[in-house]
Amino acid sequence: MKKPINQQDRRDFLKATAMLAGGAMLSSIPLAGAYASGSDTIKIALIGCGDRGTGAAFQALSTKFNIKLVAMADAFQDRLDSSYQSLSGKFAAKMDVPKERQFVGFDAYLKAIPLADVVLLTTPPGFRPIHFEEAVKQNKQVFMEKPVAVDAPGIRKVLAAAEEAKKKKLNVVVGLQRRYQTNYRESMKRINDGAIGDIMSGQVYWNSGGVWVRPRKANQTEMEYQMRNWYYFNWLCGDHIVEQHVHNIDIANWIKNGHPVSVQGTGSRAWRTGKDYGEIYDNHSIELTYADGAVINSQCRHFEGISNRVDESFQGTKGKIYLSGSNQAIMKDYSGKELYNHNTKGNANPYQTEHDELFDAVSKGEYRFSNVDYAATSTFSAIIGRYATYSGQTIKWDEALASNISLMPERFAWDANPRLMPDEKGLYPIAIPGQAKVI
Amino acid sequence: MFKKLIAVALIAYPCAQISAQTSSDSYTQSINGTKLKFDMQAIPAGKFKMGSKTGKPDEQPVHEVKLDAFWIGKHEVTWDIFEPFLYRDYEKQASISAIPAEVDAVTRPTKPYFDMTFGMGKEHQPAVAMTQYNAIQFCKWLYVRTGIFYRLPTEAEWEYACKAGTETNYSFGNDAAKLGDYAWYKDNSDNKTHQVGQKKPNTWGLFDMYGNVSEWTYDQYIADFYSQSKDKTVENPVAVPEKLYPNVVRGGSYDETPNNLTSTARLASDPSWKQLDPQIPKSNWWFPEAPFVGMRLVRPVKTPSKAEIDAYYNKQPIKDF
């Protein structure tokens, strides 16, 4: 499966490998320059004006700091307009986005990024690598949503930009909000202190009923259709194992303080097979094997009408823990004695905490966050999961990271064709294990 | 303002002559085109004392309320009947005949990004975490499926049905120690919902009125709402909701202590129930931080006019930022 890689890719790959080996513990390093006084306005730009991007902008503007939204960018005029309307309704005094700083199209980000101090990158994940790369190149601090890429070349781009961001001491916060959620933070503290010993196994789940669908409309080019119905196309979404399940896989990596060395699994389109559903699978079940031999199982599926489960369980040498995004954390030893039970009521909103902490650092001129290290690691763990279920092969981390298979279109334009095109019935080619070439 | 609320209420809930019910009035509703069904218990028209002298300030003053006859769900609404509404594709699987166009046209909830069962299961488990708007749209789906007007109980209807002719804290008396026979609550729930109908019913045949899930009513929560009814007999009172928050849920949940599970305790919905929704505008349909909220159906004996029914179902949702 190993393929030759060109010089640029090799450099990125080596950098990436070095970075992952190094890990990163940042201390608060005071930065020279802007905002140190707390009196200057922090200018932000929103790149990706969907409902989540609008939510992120709400959270940024809800912090106690002196922030102004100065630019907005989206591929679509209508998404930008509705976002602008929602934001103006609530934060009129913090909005400074006249028409000339509202940018629409594939290259809108290039125009918006230079105008800000901090950028919010919240488009579909396929664009994250090029947007993040550009933001770092222009010395911007970053909040970006998860996942941070959809394929190996994208991950290498993100890892290379992350190295640059560190050199430049640019704060980067990523929207894996469980890392900012009190039940997870409290649990990880206790686990790091040895409360349940070494983690030997775990089970992480995102089994739900699926997400929205945007059916094809007349007069849409194929590019516009895929951009609108983006969840179902891998160059934009990465499949739900990446887009959604990255949250739970990230908890596995967090608790193991590393990443899987190999992944194998199985998956299919068992149920969601119609033409509205692009190419992604509706179920994946994978096994993540870590360097110390620990194995963590993961399931994610989009099936309607059957049992759901979105949570994480882990077993250590001295006890076990149950965690969920609904603020739950229950830790027990093997005699059944409760070691910790987090109160699910009255917790802070983790989506808000992300921004409170980021802008606290930015306003004080301190360098505290390089979330992109673990975000890229967990994103890539999920991507490898997809490689494993699509191919039916056991996928090794290092080999996968060297892959040159890019999912991105060669040209970003409304009249350009994405790589994957529908047949005459409107159906797309689907990865078949044993036949699909993934790395 | 309170006068206005009552006035609006009289339009939405016409105070017509009380229809007679016969003893066979409790019935099982089949959901046309599916094998699904649910039970409705007949509640006679009558008067009762609403509120509690010993309760919290918002439960006072005790005042007399006169209600028309209605039916109320014997059980909380379960996922079994809620999911065909939630998932259009699943509805096809659960149907024994083609889905009529008018059913297909009902607006459905956005599929929740999170798991809205919170790991508590689905079969015979109460449906949870829906907004009041979602609960009303579910009623609309049932109406289109069955031709029968279902809606949420008013606070007064809920309390009347819960008290079942009693004036004690609970319909079985004042002894909270007996609560475990009737309710899933903090002390016995293992912090989750349970299948409906496993505990004892009240004397009017209603299960899980206390605990399991707090149940939606139609009323806006107004802390001193009862004060305008002091020393009066009010007919079919309701505080028609004009704001998104707060609205009243009743009966307490698996997560509540006995003092919040009385026949008269009122809980107000809160924007914090939606703080884990990371999108703007926030979902009109789901409360990712309210796994303890569910619903129970009511059918008035006197069916409102088509225009009144449409007005009830088709109120536009208030955007939530």
The secondary element (H helix, E strand) that includes residue B64 is: strand B63-67
Report pLDDT for B6.
Answer: 47
User: In a mutagenesis test of the A interface, which of B95, B115, B189, B285 is the best target, namely the one with the most A β-carbons within 10 Å?
Assistant: B115
What is d(CA B319, CA B321) in angstroms, rounded to the nearest whole number?
7
What is d(CA A188, CA A186) in angstroms, rounded to the nearest whole number?
6
User: How far A94 CA lies from chain B's nearest CA (Å)?
Assistant: 16
User: How far A415 CA lies from chain B's nearest CA (Å)?
Assistant: 30
Q: Which amino acid would we find at residue A170?
A: L
- Cα–Cα–Cα angle for A408, A409, A414, nearest 5°? 130
B157-185 pLDDT, tens digit per residue, is: 999 999 999 999 999 999 999 999 999 99
For the four alpha carbons of A260, A284, A122 and B282, in that order, the dihedral sign comes to negative
Q: Around Cβ B87, how many Cβ atoms within 10 Å? A: 20
| Among candidates B90, B111, B118 on the partner chain, residue whose Cβ is nearest the Cβ of A211 | B111
Bridge partners (DSSP) of residue A396 are A262
B127 touches chain A (CB under 8 A): no
Number of helices (H), then strands (E), belonging to chain A: the values are: 13, 17
Q: Is the pLDDT of residue A23 over 70?
A: no
* pTM given for the model: 0.89
B288 touches chain A (CB under 8 A): yes
Tokens at B270, concatenated: 């809160």
Report pLDDT for A394.
Answer: 98
B87 touches chain A (CB under 8 A): yes
B117 touches chain A (CB under 8 A): yes
CB contact under 8 A, A307 and B87: no
Range A87-100 average pLDDT: 97
* B304: region left, alpha or beta (phi > 0 left; psi from -120 to 50 alpha): beta
| Among candidates B93, B118, B280 on the partner chain, residue whose Cβ is nearest the Cβ of A305 | B93
Q: How far apart are the two ends of chain A, measured CA to CA in Å? A: 7
Chain A's closest residue to B113, CA to CA, is A211
B310 touches chain A (CB under 8 A): no
B173-218 pLDDT, tens digit per residue, is: 999 999 999 999 999 999 999 999 999 999 999 999 999 999 999 9
Q: How confident is the model at residue B5 (pLDDT cuts 50, 70, 90)?
A: very low
Edge-to-edge strand order for the sheet containing B266-268? Answer: B266-268, B247-250, B214-220, B293-294
CB contact under 8 A, B280 and A211: no
- Cα–Cα–Cα angle for A209, A214, A216, nearest 5°? 135
| Among candidates A175, A206, A326 on the partner chain, residue whose Cβ is nearest the Cβ of B118 | A326
Are residues A9 and A2 in contact, defined by beta-carbon separation less than 8 angstroms? no
Closest of B283, B298, B300 to residue B139, by C-alpha: B298
Report pLDDT for A305.
Answer: 85
Q: Is the pLDDT of residue A30 over 90?
A: no
Tokens at B162, concatenated: 């819960």
Q: Which amino acid would we find at residue A104?
A: V
Report pLDDT for B93.
Answer: 84
**Strand A172-174 vs strand A141-144: parallel, antiparallel, or unpaired?**
parallel
Q: Around Cβ A107, how many Cβ atoms within 10 Å? A: 13
Cβ-proximal residues to B62 (8 Å cutoff; 6+ apart), any chain: B49, B50, B51, B52, B53, B226
Where does residue B120 rank: exposed (0-12), middle (13-18), buried (19+ CB within 10 A)?
buried
Q: Is the pLDDT of residue A18 over 70?
A: no
Give the ipTM: 0.83
Bridge partners (DSSP) of residue A44 are A69, A118
Are residues A404 and A438 in contact, defined by beta-carbon separation less than 8 angstroms? no
Residue B116: its chain A contacts at CB < 8 A? 308
Transcribe B193-250 into DSSP letters. Answer: ---TT-S---TTS---SSBSSEEEEEEEP-TTGGGGGTTSEEES------SSS-EEEE
CB contact under 8 A, A209 and B114: no
What is d(CA A89, CA A74) in angstroms, rounded to the nearest whole number?
19
Report pLDDT for B25.
Answer: 85
CB contact under 8 A, A207 and B115: yes
DSSP 3-state percent helix, strand, coil across chain B (nearest 5): 25, 20, 55
Bridge partners (DSSP) of residue A203 are A297, A313
B89-130 pLDDT, tens digit per residue, is: 889 888 888 999 999 889 999 988 888 999 899 999 999 999
Residue A350: its chain B contacts at CB < 8 A? 276
Q: How confident is the model at residue B10 (pLDDT cuts 50, 70, 90)?
A: very low
A129-170 pLDDT, tens digit per residue, is: 999 999 999 999 999 999 999 999 999 999 999 999 999 999
CB contact under 8 A, B291 and A304: no
Q: What's the DSSP call for residue A41?
A: P
CB contact under 8 A, A310 and B275: no
| Among candidates B87, B113, B275 on the partner chain, residue whose Cβ is nearest the Cβ of A304 | B87
CB contact under 8 A, B279 and A210: no
Report the interhelical angle of A51-62 vs A77-91 (nearest 10°): 30
Total residues found in chain A within this entry: 439
Q: Which amino acid would we find at residue B72?
A: I
B226-244 pLDDT, tens digit per residue, is: 999 999 999 999 999 999 9
Tokens at A426, concatenated: 């409107």
B190 touches chain A (CB under 8 A): no
CB contact under 8 A, A308 and B87: no
CB contact under 8 A, B321 and A212: no
What is d(CA B288, CA B113) in angstroms, rounded to the nearest whole number?
9
User: What is the distance, to the nearest Å, from the Cα of residue A226 to the centroid of all Cα atoms in its chain?
Assistant: 20
- Cα–Cα–Cα angle for B285, A215, A280, nearest 5°? 90
B35 touches chain A (CB under 8 A): no
A328-339 pLDDT, tens digit per residue, is: 999 999 999 999
CB contact under 8 A, B111 and A212: yes
Are residues B14 and B308 in contact, defined by beta-carbon separation less than 8 angstroms? yes
Question: What's the half-sphere exposure (Cβ side, CA atoms, 13 Å) at B255?
Answer: 13
- Cα–Cα–Cα angle for B130, B131, B134, nearest 5°? 80
Q: Which amino acid would we find at residue A353?
A: T
Q: Around Cβ A45, how many Cβ atoms within 10 Å? A: 27
CA dihedral A220, A226, A228, A233 (to 10 degrees): 160
- Mean pLDDT, chain A, integer: 93
Closest of B39, B200, B202, B216 to residue B127, by C-alpha: B216
Cβ-proximal residues to B196 (8 Å cutoff; 6+ apart), any chain: B75, B76, B78, B124, B125, B126, B207, B208, B212
User: How far A377 CA lies from chain B's nearest CA (Å)?
Assistant: 23
Range A338-347 average pLDDT: 94
Report pLDDT for B22.
Answer: 53
B17-48 pLDDT, tens digit per residue, is: 344 445 458 999 999 889 999 999 999 999 99
Are residues B120 and B291 in contact, defined by beta-carbon separation less than 8 angstroms? yes
Closest of B309, B14, B296, B26 to residue B143, by C-alpha: B309
What is d(CA B105, CA A282) in angstroms, rounded to the nearest whole number?
26
CB contact under 8 A, B113 and A208: yes
| Among candidates B113, B122, B321 on the partner chain, residue whose Cβ is nearest the Cβ of A211 | B113
Residue A311: its chain B contacts at CB < 8 A? 119
| Among candidates B90, B122, B280 on the partner chain, residue whose Cβ is nearest the Cβ of A55 | B280
Total residues found in chain B within this entry: 321
Are residues B134 and B286 in contact, defined by beta-carbon separation less than 8 angstroms? yes
Count CB pairs under 8 A between chains A and B.
Answer: 89
For chain A, percent of residues with pLDDT exceeding 70: 91
What is d(CA A23, CA A35) in angstroms, rounded to the nearest whole number?
28
- Mean pLDDT, chain B, integer: 92
| Among candidates A55, A306, A308 on the partner chain, residue whose Cβ is nearest the Cβ of B279 | A55
Report pLDDT for A10.
Answer: 47
Are residues A121 and A111 in contact, defined by beta-carbon separation less than 8 angstroms? no
| Among candidates B86, B276, B280 on the partner chain, residue whose Cβ is nearest the Cβ of A86 | B280
Tokens at A397, concatenated: 């981390």
A259-317 pLDDT, tens digit per residue, is: 999 999 999 999 999 999 999 999 999 999 999 999 999 999 999 988 899 999 999 99
Backbone angles phi, psi at A249, to 5 degrees: -65, -35
CB contact under 8 A, A208 and B278: no
Q: How far apart are the two ends of chain B, measured CA to CA in Å? A: 26
Range A233-246 average pLDDT: 98
For chain B, percent of residues with pLDDT exceeding 70: 93
CB contact under 8 A, A208 and B118: no
What is d(CA B164, CA A293) in angstroms, rounded to the nearest whole number?
61
Tokens at B180, concatenated: 């475990």
Residue A51: its chain B contacts at CB < 8 A? 279-281
What is d(CA B216, CA B267) in angstroms, rounded to the nearest whole number?
10
Q: Is the peptide bond before B57 cis (omega within 30 degrees of 0)?
A: no
